[in-house]
Structure 1
Amino acid sequence: MPVVEAGFVVLDCAEPEKLAVFYKEFMDAEETDASANRVEIRGADGTRLAFRRDVNATPPSWPRPENSLQAHLEFVVTDLDEAERKVVELGGRPLETKDASGPFETRGYADPAGHSFTLRRVTPTAPKQG
């Protein structure tokens, strides 16, 4: 029997119910558990997130240079523009939407409570010939 039964990324926020709705809608997830101070969801791909009430929570300040990025969520998407429209429609906001160089295209956002996350699209590559 494993020692760990499930792992979660937990985001502290003032209103876990509202933040859970944002991520449930964005990830097409389902709520798996809820209490007065915590809501847990699981995405269709198995990703598990939890939102814990902290009435004193303050949003991270990334990408301001005086603070380093400690952690963030990253979501792989097939269409960055479509995903961005959904994020904004659900109450998120762009932080950094310039395309990164290299094999990935990424854009940075903040959820309605200010937590940063990244949308990433892997650039398809043609199969090797010969």
Structure 2
Amino acid sequence: MPLVTVGVVVLDCAEPERLARFCKEFLEAEETEESANRVELRTGDGIRLAPRRDTDATPPGRPRPENSLQAHLDFAWRTWTRPNAASVSLGGRPTEAEDAPGPSEERAFADPTGHSFTLRRIPPPAPKRG
């Protein structure tokens, strides 16, 4: 048994309420706690996210030329249409052209407060044989 478990993924930003609204709608999450500087959300599959106020926060850039380590969220989808449109309608923005070179199975976005995230397509399961 581990000594600790992952509790909450905390995302620092200048406007936690704005990021919480985006995540709540995009992930169909429920708000579980709110304070003056933090909003905690829980998704249907149990992931907990908490945008936290940091007035000095600056959004990370993607990709970083120095290949530094930084966190970003990957969201998995089976088709592109719904998550792309939903992200943009909720205030997200693509951070690369739709026809950018590289794998077509993922696209980079930024949330309304500038955090990067990736929409990664999950291929449909192969049909059973036999």
Taking structure 2 as the reference length, the TM-score comes to 0.85
Quote the Cα distance in structure 2 between the aligned partners of 1:99 and 1:9: 30
Q: 1:51: Cα distance to partner?
A: 0.8
* More contact order relative to length (CA 8 Å, sep ≥ 6): 2
Q: 1:129: Cα distance to partner?
A: 4.3
Residue 110 of structure 2: aligned partner: 110
Residue 84 of structure 1: aligned partner: 84
Q: Is 1:63–1:95's contact at 8 Å kept on the other side of the alignment?
A: no
Quote the Cα distance in structure 1 between the aligned partners of 2:102 and 2:123: 11
Give matches, 1:13-92, under 5 Å: 13-66=13-66, 68-92=68-92
Q: Is 2:78–2:124's contact at 8 Å kept on the other side of the alignment?
A: no
Q: Is 1:77–1:119's contact at 8 Å kept on the other side of the alignment?
A: yes
SS in 2 for 1:37: coil
Q: How many residues align?
A: 128
Taking structure 1 as the reference length, the TM-score comes to 0.85
| Structure 2 gap ranges (5+) | none
The amino acid of 1:112's aligned partner reads P
RMSD: 2.4
Residue 8 of structure 2: aligned partner: 8
| Structure 1 gap ranges (5+) | none
Which sits farther off after the overlay, 33-42 or 90-99? 90-99
Deviations 1:13-70 (A, max 9, x none): 1111111000000000000001011110001111110011000111111124245351
Quote the Cα distance in structure 2 between the aligned partners of 1:72 and 1:121: 16
SS in 2 for 1:56: coil
Q: 1:81: Cα distance to partner?
A: 1.9
Q: 1:126: Cα distance to partner?
A: 2.7
Residue 120 of structure 1: aligned partner: 120
SS in 1 for 2:95: strand
